[in-house]
Amino acid sequence: MRNRENHNETGFLFENLEQRMLLSSQPAFPNISDLANPLNSVVRMYTDFGVIDIEMYDVSGPSGGSAAPNTVANFVQNYVNEGNFERSFFHRIVGGFVLQGGGFIFDNDAGGLSAVPTASPVVNEFNADRSNIARTIAMAKIGGDPNSATSQFFFNLSDNSPNLNNQNGGFTVFGRVANTSSWNVVTTIASLADINFVTSNPVSTALTDVPVKSNYTSGAPLNEDFLVDLIDVELIKPSGTNTFFDYRLVYPEGYAAGDKTNTIYVANGDSTNAAFYQVIARYESQTKRDRVLASGSIVANGFAEIDISSATTTDVVVENAPFAIEIITTTEMGATFRHEDYGAVAVEDFINVTDLAGAELQTWEFGGVGLTSTTTSNPSVDLKPYLLLQNLSSSTATVTIEMTKPDLTKVTYFQTLEPFRRGGLELFNIVELTQGIASLRVTANQEIAAAMSAYDVRTSNGVLPVVSRGAWTAAGVANGADTNGSIAGVRGLIGNETYMSFQNRPNVSGVAIITHKVTGNPVAVNLTNITMTPNARGIYDLRDITTPATQFTTLNYTLAGVGRASAHYVGTASTLGDQLGAALDTRASSVRVFSGGGFTTGGTEVLSVYNPDTGEDIDISVSFVFADGTKITLPFQTITAGDRTDIDVSTLTNVLTKISSGSQFANYGIVVSGVQGTDVGPMVASLTSIDATGQSAALSTGTMFGQAFYLDSGRFGPGSVT
């Protein structure tokens, strides 16, 4: 093996590794050097013509001058974070003078024209240090009332200081357009034709000079199709730090009503830097405005629990409105989503979309999902599978959902997702689907995220039982499919419905070679070969594996030939207990962050790590991080080439002592880092948590960071995951 010259037994900092191998296709952030003060916050406006990035003067103004903290707080907290600017439009152009917005919304599907809801006016903070010169943004006011600013703002298109600095107490400049590309968007909008849309509607009295896009037809009434919308407005850089929200984590599951519980656990594995973050709800309904649910910072090596909804707390989301969760953060922070519904628990780690290129986010596959349970006498009503989608882009996405039925015939659905909107399908309500296991392929013309959830609602004479039923949720396989896949650790190959399912790519053939490995034996045990004809799918019943029920094993597949497949695993924790589900990884990464750690006495919590490199050992560092910033790092462990290991939390005395020292430490994060000498050490990892009863179980594969490599890459050598 390679030497350990660059690390020690107290653990190494994954932030010293190369940060990202791939980048999402989101518009680039401004340079820090573009800002008057690198500690000022930055707001991004998504428009039909591109993004406008605006430096807020919340720490200082230009050249270290006075700030406008109250005006910035009003703008960000009352309107940006609350989603009140979404779908509003620029309603006023005065050539060479101002471009104004923030006052009105027009929605073809929600009653037409309305005013942006406003908070209490903010006290005027005009200062000549922040003059009304070109490229600045200022608050609009009512004539004769200096302290009347609420939601409306304007961009100064030229030097308006002789006028606007000297009337109505001076107009408060609270920021500036951050860079040239953003300013070009402003001037492009300001150069559009303007139309008078004043009607008998009293809300329309200010609409005398509304900019319209080129698709406007002379004489047409007001319509959102030709208005210049603010598609989305969000904070992209927090105040008080010189870093942007560089990382984006998403999960498209979420629903609040009654006793349904939604909780997010976040872990900062960075040993040096605090993690600044925002949690955003993206609703399925266009009438519900996306809003920031939580924001703040987590200390280095810190952990936090964020309650979204429950029966005993005040919900921070709208009830009876499906939503997706998006987390933006300044560091490589892991996040886990826990959803309790139908009396069962579904847990999965957030998808780090930052390290996926645009095309990789346009195809998602699900090797299999049970359409109905085979364990009860009434299979038509006892399983509720959902396909969950989120549009990650500022453009409308056209989504194609192709479902392969158990008899291998196809059902195709289409769905249109508005920018940043959640969507999906209730698969149990699709009449063409029948009992059994189906596979899904989801493609889109924009970047999306996709996941699957299934809830067993088995009944007794139509009455839901008191005990927990099974549930699982799992992300799809990004980039569609691959020739290799792996899941580091599965257990509980007993009871009912424990299987791996596959879906092959169209127009190609191949043979899926399914193997498994146990610790200490890097030689794979061949389980079966499944012939995969074009568009075919296959299922393997994992109850055929003869390993003890308490033993963990790594499951792999390799597709021989030219085929490419995706695979999912679904298992049960006990005969009548909760279910576990996860996609088989097609990539290995040098860092995995698990934020859903939570060992309970009498239960099981096992971290499984697999080295897919059949030619070289890797060294792993495992650290547990807690809410107070405590970090417990285990001794380095070497995993020989092609081998695996399991770390049983019940055997870690120092970790158990910390857990028992206070209720605030019952949940925690786990950071796994791999190295091969002076190089990164990509690995596959998973975390299995089962309570003492087996009625609450979770299987997650962590949030990937560091460097990621596809398992069929030359790095791992031929046959590396077989």
Question: What is the pLDDT averaged over residues 625-637?
Answer: 95
In terms of Cα–Cα distance, which of 67, 83, 537 is closest to 278?
Answer: 83
Span 60-109, pLDDT tens digits:
999 999 999 999 999 999 999 999 999 899 999 999 999 999 999 998 77
Enter the tokens of residue 361: 């986010």
Is residue 61 within 8 A of residue 187, CB to CB? The reply is no
Backbone phi, then psi, for 529, in 5-degree steps?
-115, 130
Q: How far apart are CA 298 and CA 424, in angstroms?
A: 32
* pLDDT tens digits along 184-217: 999 999 999 999 999 877 888 899 999 999 999 9
Rounded to an integer, the average pLDDT of 479-501 is 73
Residue 301 to residue 558: CA distance in whole angstroms: 37
Using pLDDT thresholds of 50, 70 and 90, give the confidence band for residue 133. very high
| Torsions phi, psi for 106 (to 5 deg) | -130, 120
Taking residues 624-652, report their average pLDDT: 95
Whether the CB-CB separation of 423 and 450 falls below 8 Å is answered with no
Residues 6+ apart with CB under 8 A from 54: 42, 43, 44, 45, 137, 175, 176, 177, 178, 182
Task: Pick the more confident residue, 272 or 468.
Answer: 272
Q: Are strands 565-572 and 499-504 parallel, antiparallel or unpaired?
A: antiparallel
| Average pLDDT over the chain, rounded to an integer | 85
User: What confidence score (pLDDT) does residue 571 get?
Assistant: 65
Residue 99 is predicted with a pLDDT of 98
DSSP helix/strand/coil, 252: coil
Give tens-digit pLDDT for 232-242: 999 999 999 99
Hey, what are 103's tokens? 């006052």
Q: Is residue 283 over pLDDT 80? A: yes
CA end-to-end span of the chain = 21
pLDDT at residue number 557: 84
Torsional sign, CA 406, 408, 409, 414: positive
**In this predicted structure, what is the pLDDT of residue 439?**
83
Extended strands (E) in 499-576? 499-504, 510-517, 525-532, 537-541, 553-561, 565-572
Structure tokens at 568: 């999912």
| pLDDT tens digits along 137-174 | 999 999 999 999 999 999 999 999 999 999 999 999 99
How far, CA to CA in Å, does 637 sit from each of 129, 611, 620?
A: 58, 12, 5
Supply the DSSP symbol for 227: B
Percent with pLDDT over 70 in the chain? 85
| 670 — pLDDT class (breaks 50, 70, 90) | very high
Instruction: Tell me the C-alpha to C-alpha distance, in Å, between residue 442 and each of 167, 183, 283, 396, 703.
Output: 57, 37, 20, 16, 22
Helix (H) or strand (E) holding 181: helix 180-190
Domains of the chain: 32-237 (2.40.100.10), 247-716 (no CATH)
The 3-state secondary structure of 421-437, one letter per residue: CEEEEEHHHCCCCCCCE
Pull the structure tokens for residue 162.
């002789």
CA distance 593 to 595: 6
Whether 446 shows a pLDDT value over 80: the answer reads yes
| Token couple for 509 | 């053939």
Q: Which of 524 and 231 is assigned the larger pLDDT? A: 231
Ramachandran region, residue 96 (left: φ > 0; alpha: ψ -120 to 50; beta: rest): left
Inter-residue contact 233 to 635 (CB < 8 Å): no
pLDDT at 449 over 90: yes
- Give the predicted TM-score (pTM) of the model: 0.90
- Environment class of residue 574 by beta-carbon count within 10 Å: exposed (0-12), middle (13-18) or buried (19+)? middle
pLDDT digit string, tens, across residues 316-366: 888 888 999 999 999 989 999 998 876 678 888 999 998 887 889 999 988
pLDDT for the residue numbered 516: 81
- Residue 460 has a pLDDT of 52
pLDDT-derived band at 379 (thresholds 50, 70, 90) equals: very low
| Position 377 pLDDT exceeds 60 | no
Is residue 5 very low, low, confident or very high in pLDDT (cuts 50, 70, 90)? Answer: very low
Q: Tokens 């998602």, residue? A: 364
Q: How many CB atoms lie within 10 A of CB 626?
A: 24
* Strand 579-583 with 565-572, pairing: antiparallel
Q: What's the token pair of residue 236?
A: 């992209």
- Nearest C-alpha neighbor of 529 from the set 510, 513, 545, 509: 513
**Residue 458 pLDDT exceeds 50:** yes
Q: How far apart are CA 411 and CA 28, in angstroms?
A: 39
Query: What pLDDT, on a 0 to 100 scale, did the predictor assign at position 20?
Result: 33
Q: What values do phi and psi take at 282, rounded to 5?
A: -110, 110
Phi, psi angles (nearest 5°) of residue 28: -65, 145
Task: Give the separation between CA 565 and CA 710, rounded to whole angstroms.
Answer: 13
Residue scoring higher pLDDT (576 or 390) = 390
Give the confidence band of 466 by pLDDT, cuts at 50, 70, 90: very low
- At residue 480, the pLDDT reads 77
